[in-house]
């Protein structure tokens, strides 16, 4: 899916288009070969305006970051942020998270970040959550052995539900916290996260480590 470019976004996009991958499927299986000199490939699903992406990229110059975002306005802001900080280890994908397997080969990714996704709270919407078993399977396939999902949300019901789903599907859970910033005040944050922290909203976080095999659920439940 190519990004639909609004006229007022085109000049801004052209200034930093060198970090946009319009045909990432051509890189599938060869990200670290095409972009040589990096030790790992990390993926962020829904990078928004790029504060977290850029912060992590700056802190980890040996890691290649692929930031996925389907909202054009947010994506352009994220790209401008990366270019403004002269970060050469980020590539942006104007794509949908549901197509993850089209852009990354099995075992190609070391870590996946899912930050503050839409909770899709209605029962009939649960399969659209980025922590639902169907999305977990996409992540499991893309991750290398021992690869990780780092998940953050301010939504308590979504977090508790996600904990159950990850455990049921065979992931090893660690670093589970319901008040992230109580112990890590200098953590890299998203824009939403920074706002929530100022408001005193507690942030939930977990790390799900890829197990030996993905366990297909008997039936997904909302």
The answer to whether the CB of 148 falls within 8 A of the CB of 209 is yes
The answer to whether the CB of 179 falls within 8 A of the CB of 203 is yes
Considering only CA atoms, which of 91, 103, 87, 102 is closest in space to residue 17? 91
Q: Can you name the residues that pair with 173 across neighbouring β-strands?
A: 208
Taking residue 212's Cβ as centre, other Cβ atoms within 10 Å add up to: 8
191 classed as catalytic: no
**Given the residues 33, 118, 179, 186, the one annotated as active site:** 118
Considering only CA atoms, which of 161, 142, 218, 21 is closest in space to residue 151? 161
Catalytic residues: 118
């Amino acid at each position: 899916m190519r990004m639909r470019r609004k006229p007022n976004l085109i000049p801004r996009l052209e200034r930093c288009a060198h970090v946009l991958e319009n045909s990432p499927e051509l890189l599938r299986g060869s990200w670290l070969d095409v972009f040589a000199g990096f030790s790992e490939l990390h993926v962020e699903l829904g990078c928004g305006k790029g504060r977290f992406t850029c912060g992590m990229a700056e802190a980890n110059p040996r890691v290649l970051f692929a930031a996925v975002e389907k909202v054009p306005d947010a994506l352009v802001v994220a790209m401008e942020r990366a270019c403004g900080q002269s970060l050469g280890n980020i590539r942006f994908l104007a794509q949908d998270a549901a197509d993850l397997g089209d852009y990354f080969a099995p075992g190609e990714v070391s870590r996946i970040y899912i930050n503050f996704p839409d909770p899709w709270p209605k029962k009939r919407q649960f399969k659209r959550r980025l922590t639902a078993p169907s999305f977990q399977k996409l992540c499991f396939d893309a991750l290398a052995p021992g690869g990780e999902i780092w998940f953050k949300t301010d939504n308590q019901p979504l977090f508790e539900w996600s904990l159950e789903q990850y455990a049921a599907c065979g992931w090893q859970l660690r670093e589970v916290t319901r008040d992230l910033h109580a112990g890590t005040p200098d953590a890299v944050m998203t824009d939403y996260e920074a706002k929530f922290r100022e408001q005193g909203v507690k942030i939930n976080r977990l790390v799900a480590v890829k197990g030996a095999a993905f366990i297909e659920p008997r039936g997904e439940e909302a």
